[in-house]
Chains A and B, each alone.
Chain A
Amino acid sequence: MISAAGLLVQQRALAGRDYRLIGHSGARAAFSLGRWRIALEVLLWAVLALVLAAPLLALVASSLVPAYGVPLNFNTISLSAYAEILFRQSITLTALKNSLILASAAALGLLTVTVPAAYLLTRRKGALANLIAILIEIPYALPGIVLAVAFILTFAAPLPVVGLSLYGTIWIILAAYFSSFLAVSLKPVLSAFLQMDPALEEAARLAGAGFFRRMRDVLLPLVAPAAGASVILVFLIAANELTVSALLWSAGTQTLGVAIFNLDDSGSSDLASALSVLVVILVIALMAALEYLAKHLPEGVLPWRN
């Protein structure tokens, strides 16, 4: 209810505004800070160090020592946690495989929904489009735990026709991911469609291209960079997801988030740290890929570039 109300307020506030870009966006407003500049920069770096660098370093440090509380020095340092995680614990590979499959399936599968949806939302204005927009955003605004409970309640009973229960299989996690990340997947594609000059499609229509033809030749190539960003974004978030899968996992369907949580919970903080460090490296690699894509993307697609 609260999510829906918030989304309604947002729609009202933006009602009737068409944010299609016509010209170039202006230069960013900047002002000189004068002699405060040094002080502020130091402060900012300090905050960054505190919230970002310190926890990361702690993570790396604890992954290099045999147990929690052991001080890190030349005698205690070892990569055994990484060796254990990578080569001995079968759970790691299972979790890694599960998370990668789930994240790729969610990212690519959602694209087949969000590209047509974004097209319809930009071309057809009206009450129905607004309703669809809200429906898409609700699961994203919901806490993952709430969503997971909803999915358990829905899919605990066997499916009507086929008589199979999704509960306890990897499919229920995938279904919940679809629901949860629909909005994440939609946003870059929707921005790309919104910022596209409608005349580009109209010119293709007058050139004689029917719907599928112009989709293939004109629209899809133009939204392709945004679709790429959408895939990576969903992948990035889904690969690290915990709250949804925490309730939906069962033996053999652990995700990376669940695996780290379980390792830490069972006292193997060194293994948990090592796995976390590996995940961080994965995330950084993906963000670098997005950064590389960024120059082809509409502005505002990447959450960290604005």
Chain B
Amino acid sequence: MAQLILNHLSKDFGSGRPAVADVSLTLRRQGFLALLGPSGCGKTTVLRMIAGFEQPSEGSIFYGERRLSDAERALPPEKRNMAMVFQSYALWPHMTVAENVGYPLKVRGISGAGWRKLVGEALSLIKLTEFAERRPAELSGGQRQRVALARCLVTQPDVVLLDEPLANLDQHLRKAMEETFRAFHERSGATMLYVTHDQAEAMALATDVAVMSQGRLLQVAPPAEIYARPEGRVVGGLIGRGSILRLRVPEVGERQLDWPLLRTSLGARGDAGDGGQADVLVRPEQVHRGTDGIPMRVVSCVFEGERFALSLSLPDGQQLKAYSSVAVVEGTLVPFVVSGGWRL
């Protein structure tokens, strides 16, 4: 098992702005990396370059010592020993479930009893043994996705690529599929790269999260780390449901801000005073009601099931999100304490 290394990878489709610009990334051995970013940020292009469907304009891709792609040459996808789960599932409609799952084996010359054994194992893992002779068209979306996953893992590929695999499934199925993916990752030991625009999915599944925006890689870190210590406005805004405030806070020193310091800057009114302003990320769970807090106006109060989501307005007009276990009357002034913030 070797590492997958992306080395100053760029891709320009000739539209002026490169789709991927100077992305360098090393995937941990047997790691599960989620590549997160808004639509059109270049994450799928990175995935397709790793698979070999696109050739980089600059930079290179290595698997261990083996050079897979650079601007001059690219190893064709069929020789990479990778597998991919497509957003559209990409199951072959003219083959049965078992034939779909077993096709990579068939191409590798495995047939007869060996083929049946491996396909049978894969199907029992995804709990679709009794569907072996069905056609993909007869399966539900979640079942199709599981077949696609089984097809990926039946040959023990070095790298498994997942392109927004849950985008077409409903919320309930997603949770179940996340479990399946995690179990598969542990079992197969393959390096997995998961492209998604859903940060909750990325956080729940991955051992590392990489955030991309406008073709550039902004930050790579484990989920808890990237949640607590995001770099810059884009990552801060993408990860979690925080609010980003412009506050006058010290621009050097500790980036984790506490309540006494925040109370001073929140009370100081953004427009007045001297010194620079900085972006401060405040998570909703860091905002509580408290008698020693700063009065904020409740703009909206929405019941979300397990709690109420509040939208608060600061004295200077900036908006802040908070959670509350009880309903709060909209339009009232309520004192709130901001127990922590993170300078981006």
Contacts and interface: CB of A to CB of B under 8 A. Distances in A.
B86 A199 contact: yes
Contacts of A207: 78, 83, 103-104, 107, 151, 155
Interface in A169-226: 197, 199-200, 202-210, 213, 217-218, 221-222
B303 interface: no
The number of chain A residues touching the other chain, given as a range, is 10 to 19
A199 B47 CA distance: 13
B147 to A, nearest CB: 11
Given A197-B88, A199-B88, A200-B92, A206 B83 contact: yes
B94 A204 contact: no
A203 B78 contact: no
A203 B107 contact: no
Most buried by B among A22, A205, A209, A217: A205
Given A208-B104, A213-B107, A217-B103, A202 B77 contact: yes
B280 to A, nearest CB: 42
Interface in B61-95: 76-84, 86-88, 90-94
A201 to B, nearest CB: 9
A210 B94 contact: no
Contacts of A221: 94
Contact of B92 (A205, A206, A213, A218): A218
- The DSSP consensus for interface residues of chain B is loop
Nearest to A210: B78
B32 to A, nearest CB: 19
A197 B90 contact: yes
B90 A202 contact: yes
A293 to B, nearest CB: 15
Contacts of B90: 197, 199-200, 202-203
Contact of B84 (A203, A209, A213): A203
Contacts of A199: 86-88, 90
B86 A208 contact: no
Interface in A217-263: 217-218, 221-222
A202 B94 contact: no
B91 to A, nearest CB: 8
B78 A209 contact: yes
Interface of B: 51-53, 76-84, 86-88, 90-94, 103-104, 107-108, 151, 155
29 contacts: A197-B88, A197-B90, A199-B86, A200-B92, A202-B51, A202-B53, A202-B77, A202-B84, A203-B84, A203-B90, A203-B151, A204-B92, A204-B103, A205-B78, A206-B80, A206-B83, A207-B78, A207-B83, A207-B104, A207-B151, A207-B155, A208-B155, A209-B78, A209-B103, A210-B78, A217-B103, A218-B92, A222-B92, A222-B93
